[in-house]
């Protein structure tokens, strides 16, 4: 009998092709004595047969609600909205610990079902750094989406549906082609440039040919004075890659945009951080998340002024689903191997303690 089982659920978010456990990682878990159940999923970048070939047991699509209650359910994106209680242990990105829209209702489902949430965003190492993150590929893909949006704007068009790329090289080639062969001549600004996400954005801009001096790389030192920042208006593309952990002054405001009028160079904002519904969103110039089918939302700029659009897709790494999944899953593996000892293993103990704190807050808000 397996010392620990895991149930890899399908992803129900449209266009989401990534996964938390790849066949490579499944192999290593099975070799360590785990039992791996994998829901059939035609949307996932890896074929069902790839899992079956390494010894995972295939189960019906979206059947996790009927899984044995003692098997943790692992996925990536949040579950579809529902009132149903959640009795299982879930490992996923839940987006409900920073008072995002509907956060308390999400947690109330765990309360009613007596389940447990281990939020992937808050699995951290001894230094407080996330054990696994999609940050690099989020920044890389976000910068690409921004460049594609700019290319469309220059043609007088709105960026159409985005499709996942087979690999990074294919993405870079496509972006360069849409820009007429190269990104040379563009001026871009990345805030959060020293982090994983920011480094991905900077790398994409380099690979499409933006000259080094035209890639403004800002981090905490440059933003310490507090926004709003005029410099954002003086580039073609601005990419926000910060991790918002406390209230900060806005980076960009509607008043700034209006005051700049026709002199504004900025055409595209890419909000990789996507704190859209966070009350302290540092980019209060838009209020909706965009999607792969409609990647941009226009900003109100006033009559006669040049257009400005925002890319605010909250699962950008799925534009590179295979590479992003392999990297994330490999980084998550050491923590998954400790799952059988989650009552004592630091990474899981701390994640559960945080869940209990957030659950208590939600119970108060919901009056449960």
HSE of 84, CA atoms in CB hemisphere, 13 A: 9
Going along 178-306, which residue ranges are E strands? Answer: 188-191, 215-218, 237-240, 268-271, 296-298
What whole-number distance in Å separates Cα of residue 31 and Cα of residue 33? 5
What whole-number distance in Å separates Cα of residue 24 and Cα of residue 55? 11
| Dihedral-angle region of residue 304 (phi above 0 means left; psi in -120 to 50 means alpha; beta otherwise) | left
Per the annotation, the verdict on 280 as an active-site residue is: no
DSSP string computed for 60-98: -TT-GGGS-TTSPEE-SSPPPP------SEEEE----SS
Considering the candidates 13, 77, 88, 217, report the single residue annotated as catalytic: 77
Judged by DSSP in three states, 117 sits in: strand
Considering the candidates 95, 176, 207, 217, report the single residue annotated as catalytic: 95
**Quick count: other Cβ atoms within 10 Å of Cβ 98?**
15
CA 14 to chain centre: 14
Per the annotation, the verdict on 77 as an active-site residue is: yes
Active site residues: 77, 95
């Amino acid at each position: 009998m397996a010392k620990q089982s895991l149930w890899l659920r399908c992803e129900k978010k449209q266009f989401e092709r990534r996964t938390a456990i790849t066949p490579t990682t499944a192999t290593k878990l099975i070799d360590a004595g785990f039992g791996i159940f994998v829901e059939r999923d035609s949307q996932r970048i890896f074929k069902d047969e790839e899992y079956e070939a390494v010894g995972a047991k295939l189960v019906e699509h979206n059947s996790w609600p009927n899984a044995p209650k003692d098997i943790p359910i692992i996925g990536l994106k949040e579950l579809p909205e529902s009132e149903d209680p959640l009795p299982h242990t879930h490992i996923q990105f839940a987006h409900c610990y920073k008072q995002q829209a509907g956060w308390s209702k999400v947690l109330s489902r765990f309360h009613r079902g007596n389940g447990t949430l281990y939020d992937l965003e808050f699995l951290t190492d001894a230094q407080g750094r996330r054990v696994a993150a999609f940050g690099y590929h989020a920044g890389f893909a976000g910068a690409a989406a921004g460049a594609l949006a700019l290319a469309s704007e220059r043609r007088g068009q709105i960026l159409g549906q985005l499709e996942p790329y087979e690999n990074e090289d294919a993405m870079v080639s496509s972006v360069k082609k849409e820009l007429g062969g190269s990104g040379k001549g563009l001026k871009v600004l990345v805030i959060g440039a020293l982090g994983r996400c920011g480094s991905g954005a900077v790398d994409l801009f380099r690979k499409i040919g933006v000259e080094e001096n035209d890639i403004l790389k800002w981090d905490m030192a440059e933003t310490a004075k507090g926004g709003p920042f005029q410099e954002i208006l003086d580039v073609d593309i601005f990419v926000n890659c910060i991790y918002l952990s406390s209230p900060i002054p806005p980076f960009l405001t509607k008043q700034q945009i209006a005051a700049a009028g026709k002199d504004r160079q900025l055409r595209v904002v890419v909000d990789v951080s996507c704190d859209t519904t966070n009350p302290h969103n540092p980019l209060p110039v838009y209020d909706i998340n965009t999607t792969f089918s409609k990647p941009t939302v226009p900003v109100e700029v006033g009559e006669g002024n040049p257009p400005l659009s925002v890319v605010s897709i909250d699962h950008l790494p799925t534009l590179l689903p295979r590479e992003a999944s392999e990297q994330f899953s490999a980084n998550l593996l050491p923590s998954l191997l400790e799952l059988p000892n989650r009552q004592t293993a630091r990474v899981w103990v701390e994640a559960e303690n945080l869940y209990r704190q957030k659950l208590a807050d939600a119970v108060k808000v919901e009056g449960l």
